[in-house]
Amino acid sequence: MEAKAVAKYVRMSPSKLKPVTDLVRGKNLNEALTILKFTPGKGSELVEKVVMSAAANAENNHSMNPDNLYVAEVYANQGPTMKRFRAGAQGRASMILKRSSHIGVTLKEREETQNAEEEVKAEGGSSNGSES
């Protein structure tokens, strides 16, 4: 099962948000929130707000355990661009692009069977290497 949250028309450029989204992709929920809390900048606050919203959706709407959640998908896509003009040199006008973004987060539950299989593989792989 998965829980989603989307913030649309956020007044920040996607190029400023994408490095922040890359930090938390694939992380556990608590780890992702800690990373976002201590990352400087407005972008981390915006992404943190969406991650918190997705966590609340998971807990309240889908009855998921917050301890088993991880950030399966996070993106910052481009939204509409507002075009503004500013006076330039020699009577010209230069265009200013005020970009916006759509931030989306999908949280999924880690299954215990997957974790158990990964642990068995890790134990089996380390013992085979040491016997050689």
Residue 56's pLDDT is what?
96
Distance CA 108, CA 113 (A): 14
Contact 41, 83 (CB under 8 A): no
Topology given in CATH for the domain delimited by 2-131: Ribosomal Protein L22; Chain A (3.90.470)
Q: Give residue-wise pLDDT tens across range 3-19.
A: 999 999 999 999 999 99
Q: How many CA atoms lie within 13 A of 70 on its CB side?
A: 11
> What is the model's pTM?
0.80
pLDDT tens digits, one per residue of 41-95: 999 999 999 999 999 999 999 999 999 999 999 999 999 999 999 999 999 999 9
